[in-house]
Amino acid sequence: VAIDLNADLGEGFGIWRLGDDDALMSVVTSANVACGFHAGDPITMQRVCEQAAARGVAIGAQVGYRDLAGFGRRRIDIPADELTADLLYQVGALQACARAAGAAVAYLKPHGALYNTAADDQDQARAIVRAASLAGDLPVLGLPGSALAVAVEAAGLRFVAEGFIDRAYTPNGRLVPRTEPGAVHHDAALALEQARELANGRVTATDGALLAMPVHSLCLHGDTAGAVELASAVRAALEGDGIELGPFATP
Amino acid sequence: VAIDLNADLGEGFGIWRLGDDDALMSVVTSANVACGFHAGDPITMQRVCEQAAARGVAIGAQVGYRDLAGFGRRRIDIPADELTADLLYQVGALQACARAAGAAVAYLKPHGALYNTAADDQDQARAIVRAASLAGDLPVLGLPGSALAVAVEAAGLRFVAEGFIDRAYTPNGRLVPRTEPGAVHHDAALALEQARELANGRVTATDGALLAMPVHSLCLHGDTAGAVELASAVRAALEGDGIELGPFATP
Amino acid sequence: VAIDLNADLGEGFGIWRLGDDDALMSVVTSANVACGFHAGDPITMQRVCEQAAARGVAIGAQVGYRDLAGFGRRRIDIPADELTADLLYQVGALQACARAAGAAVAYLKPHGALYNTAADDQDQARAIVRAASLAGDLPVLGLPGSALAVAVEAAGLRFVAEGFIDRAYTPNGRLVPRTEPGAVHHDAALALEQARELANGRVTATDGALLAMPVHSLCLHGDTAGAVELASAVRAALEGDGIELGPFATP
Amino acid sequence: VAIDLNADLGEGFGIWRLGDDDALMSVVTSANVACGFHAGDPITMQRVCEQAAARGVAIGAQVGYRDLAGFGRRRIDIPADELTADLLYQVGALQACARAAGAAVAYLKPHGALYNTAADDQDQARAIVRAASLAGDLPVLGLPGSALAVAVEAAGLRFVAEGFIDRAYTPNGRLVPRTEPGAVHHDAALALEQARELANGRVTATDGALLAMPVHSLCLHGDTAGAVELASAVRAALEGDGIELGPFATP
C-alpha cells in the first residue's frame, strides 16, 4: 500500500504568505489546504486547488477555529454544534474551490489547537466527525490513538493515521509533549531516518525500542527553516527505498 | 408561470439578530441566505437551510463584500478575480449547509453595495457571473436592465428579474434613486397594490403610465417596522387574486 | 459611600443592536462600554461616550476576547502577553473615544468568558491587571473573591467588587453556578429585594442565612426581557431607600 | 531644518510578517505603525512602540480602512462619520501602546487606498482630519497638493509633506500614475539621487526640469526586494551630504 506525504498549504492570508507552497506542492501527495478561519483566503484556496488538481495531489480541508489573529493555535471553548457548523462551512467553501478546479475535497484534517484538543476532548472530536459526515462522509486524517480517531471510527467514517518525522515518540507510542526536552528532532538526519521507519510502520521510541506504528501518511512541515529541503529529502529517500508514494484518498 | 417571493434571511451574526426569520420563512418561496461575509454565521446558515428544506422554500446564496462592520453596504473596489473567489467561497459554504439539510443552493443574489455596484460596473458584474458559473451554473436573481443582467445572459446563465413592491419606478422603468423624494412607498396599501401589478408584469410609473415590467420574483423586506405584516399581506393578496406562487428555480 | 449601578452598553456591532442603550444610560451610574473585540464598533463607542459624558455616567472599558462570532463568551487560551496587548489596545481605543467626548475611561471590566476565566485563572487574571496598569492604573470592576481581585490588589491597583441582583449566592458567598437549578432569580421582585440587600452590604444565601457581601457596585442587565424595567425599578427602590447612587470612580 | 525619513512598520498580523521591522527601525526617524484594521496586531504594536521609544524614533499612526483581507488597498465607500470613528479608534489603540512604552503618538498618516482616496476625495480627507483633531490635534503626514493637505490646513492642523524617492514626478509636480510607464524608479541609483534632491527641496521631473519640491519627510519602503538596503543607502548618503536627519514631530 502506498504511503502518503501530507503538508499544510495555502496558509497565508491576503498579502501575507507562510511557507513555500510551490515547493511543497511538488513534494506532497496530499495538500492540507487552509480554509479561511485560521488562515487561507479564497483566491489562495482557488489557486492551491488548481495546482493540486494539475499535479494529482489530493486536496484536504485543513479546518480550524475562527482565529486569524492566533493562527488557530489557541484552544477555543466553542459549543459542539457551533463548531460543527464552522467546520462544515469551511469544508464547503473549499469544496467549491476544488470543484471549480475540476477536483474535489478528499479528506478533512483539523489544524493547530483544534487538532490538539480533538486528541482528548470527546465533544470537540465528535463535532469534527459530524462535520466530516455532513460534508459527504469525508475521511479524517489525524493522530493515531486520539479521541478523534475513536470518534471517527465510531461514526463509521475512515480514519487515516499520520506519523510525525520530527517528533519523538514515548515507549507507549505517544508523542513526547513539546514542553519536554527532546520532543522535536531538530536534526534533519534523525528526522529523515524516522521518516523511513514510519514508512515501514515502525518508529524508534525514546527508550530505543522499535515500536509498531502503522501510519498511512507522514506529516511534513513547510514553514520552518530547512523544512522544504527536508521534505524533499524525505521524498527522495522513500523513493530510493522503493516505497510507493500516493494519496490515501481520492474523492 | 408562478411568481416567486424572495426575501433576505439569516442576516444575523453570532448573538445578533436581524429581522424575523421564522415569520418570513412562512411567507417567501425563495430565501436569500446571508453567507457570512457581510452577515450570516455558519450555524444560522445551517438552521435556515433546514427550515427552507422543510418548507420547500428555495435556497439562494445572498453573497456580498467581506464587510461585517458595514453590513455589505459599502462599495469596495476589489479586483475582479478576488471578488469571484470571495463569492465562490461564500456559495460553497452555503452549498455545504444546504446539502447537509438535504437541499441545494438554487440561485445566487448579490447583496447591498455589491447589488448596486453590479447594476453599472461591468467588471464586478462579470466577477459575480463567473462565481455563479464556477459554483455550478447557478441562476442569478437581480435588477432587470442592469449590467449584471447583461453579463449573466452573455455568459449563457439564467437571469431572473425581480421587482420591488415598495420602490417607485421612473417612466423608463428604472428605480427612482433613494436620494429623491418619493423613492420609497412608505404606504403599505400602495406597496400592496404595486405587488399585485408586478405579479401581473406591470407597474405604474411616477408619471402615472402603466409600464410593462416582466419580473419573475418580488423582493420582500423583513427588517423594517411592519415589513413582515406587509409581506404576509402581499402573499395573501396574490393568492386571493389566484396567482400561483412558487420558487423560480429548483436545483 | 455611594452605591454604583453598572451595566453593559454599546454591545451592538455595525447594523446589529443589543439591548436598549438609551434606556440603560438613564439608569446606570457606570457604563461598561464594549470595545470592539467581542462587540462594539467605533462609532457606537463614540456615541455612547458622548451620552455618558453628557449625563455624568462613568465610562468603563468592557474588554473581552477577540471573538465577535461568539460575543466573547468562549474561553480562549491566549498567551498572557498577547492578552495584555489585546486588552490594552481595546482600552486605548475607548480612551480616544472618551477624550473626544470630553471624558475619560474610569475603569476596566472584563467581559463574558474573560470575566469567568479571570475568576480562577491566575495567568489571565494577571494579564488583565497588567493591561489596567499600562492603561493608566485603572481600577478594575469584578467578582469579589476572584483570582482577578487578588491579582488587582497584589499589583497595587484598586479592585471594586460588584454584586449580582439576579444570581443566587451560596452559604459561603459564591455565586451558584448557572448549571444548577435556582442559579438565576427570574422573579423580578426577588431580584429587586436582593438589590436592596446588596446595596446595604448583605445578601441572603440559598440556605436563608444573611451574609455580609460588601459590594460597591450592582451589575444590571439590559439585554433580556424586562431587564430595563427591572433596572429602573432597582434605581427607584434604592433612591426610595435613601441610598446615594453614584459612580465608584471618576478619572 | 532636519529631514525626516519615514517608513511603514508593524505591518504583519498574527503569525504573518511583512518587511524587516528591525532593520528599518535602525534607518528611519519616524515609524508609521499599522494600527490593526488593515495590518498590525496589538502585541506587534506594543513591541514596535517599545523599539521606537528606545531609539528616539517618532511614532505615527498608520491608519487605514477595516480591511485585513485587502491590506487596506481597496477603496471603501464608508460614510465620513464612520470613517472618523474607525480612525480615532485606531489612533487611540496605538496611543495606549505608545504610552505603555513611555512614548506618544506624534502624527497620523493614512495608508494605502485611504491615502490615495484622500488625495482627491474631500469627504474622506475631512474625515481623516477630524480624527486627527479629535485624537489630540495630531500633525498629518501626506502627499503635498492633495485634498488631504488642503483639509488639514483648513482645520488649523499641521500638514507635513512627504516625497517619494522611487516615484517619477510630472512637470507640474504630481506623481506619475503607477499605470504609466516609468512611474516607479526601479533603479536604486536613481532613487538614491532623487532622495538627495528631495532632501534639498527639489526634484527632477520627467521632462528633465528641476522643480521646487519642499518636503519635510522622505517615504522609504521596506517590503520589496532590496528596499532595506536602499533605505540604508539613502540614510548614509544624506548623512554624508551633511544633511541633518530627525523626526518632524515630537509629541
SS (H, E, C) chain C: CCEEEEEEECCCECCECCCCHHHHHCCCCEEEEECCCCCCCHHHHHHHHHHHHHHCCEEEEEECCCCCCCCCCCCECCCHHHHHHHHHHHHHHHHHHHHHCCCCEEEEEECHHHHHHHCCCHHHHHHHHHHHHHCCCCCEEECCCCHHHHHHHHCCCCEEEEEECCECECCCCCECCCCCCCCECCCHHHHHHHHHHHHCCEEECCCCCEEECCCCEEEECCCCCCHHHHHHHHHHHHHHCCCCECCCCCC
pTM of the model: 0.97
Query: What would the pLDDT profile of D5-60 be if each residue is shown by its tens digit?
Result: 999 999 999 999 999 999 999 999 999 999 999 999 999 999 999 999 999 999 99
**Cβ contact C13–B13 (<8 Å):** yes
Instruction: Give the span between the Cα atoms of A86 and D75, in whole angstroms.
Output: 29
Residues from chain A contacting residue C77 (CB–CB below 8 Å): 74-76, 113
Residue C54 makes CB contacts below 8 A (sequence gap 6+) with none
Distance from the Cα of A90 to chain C's closest Cα (Å) equals 15
Q: How confident is the model at residue D56, as a pLDDT? A: 97
Asked if A52 contacts A32 with a C-beta cutoff of 8 angstroms, the reply is no
Distance (Å, whole) CA D173 – CA C124:
54
Of A15, A18, A41, the CB nearest to D15: A18
Q: Between chains, do A14 and D41 touch, taking CB under 8 Å as contact?
A: no
* pLDDT > 80? residue B175: yes
Using the predicted structure, report yes or no on whether residue B55 has a pLDDT greater than 90. yes
Q: Using the 8-state DSSP alphabet, how is residue A71 labeled?
A: T
Interface of C with A (CB under 8 A): 66-67, 69-70, 74-78, 82, 113
Q: Any idea what DSSP says for residue B226?
A: T
Distance (Å) from the alpha carbon of B120 to chain A's nearest alpha carbon: 24
Q: Which residues of A touch D70 (CB under 8 A)?
A: 14
Instruction: With a cut of 50, list the residues of chain A below it in pLDDT.
Output: none
Q: What are phi and psi of D44, to 5 degrees?
A: -65, -40
Q: Which of D89, D95, D105, D128 to mutate to test the interface with C (most CBs of C within 10 A)?
A: D89
CB neighbour class for A53 (10 Å; exposed up to 12, middle 13-18, buried from 19): middle
CB within 8 Å: B66 and D69: yes
Average pLDDT over residues C157-179: 94
- Higher pLDDT among residues C86 and B251, named by residue: C86
User: Given this model, what pLDDT does residue B214 score?
Assistant: 95
Average pLDDT, integer, range B102-119: 97
Report ipTM for this prediction: 0.96
Q: What's the pLDDT score for residue A184?
A: 92
Contact between chains at A96 and B89 (C-beta distance less than 8 A): yes
Q: What CA–CA distance (Å, rounded) separates C134 from C130?
A: 6
Residues of C in contact with A82 (CB under 8 A): 70
**pLDDT tens by residue, C205-245:** 999 999 999 999 999 988 788 889 999 999 999 999 999 99
C74/chain B closest Cα distance in angstroms: 12
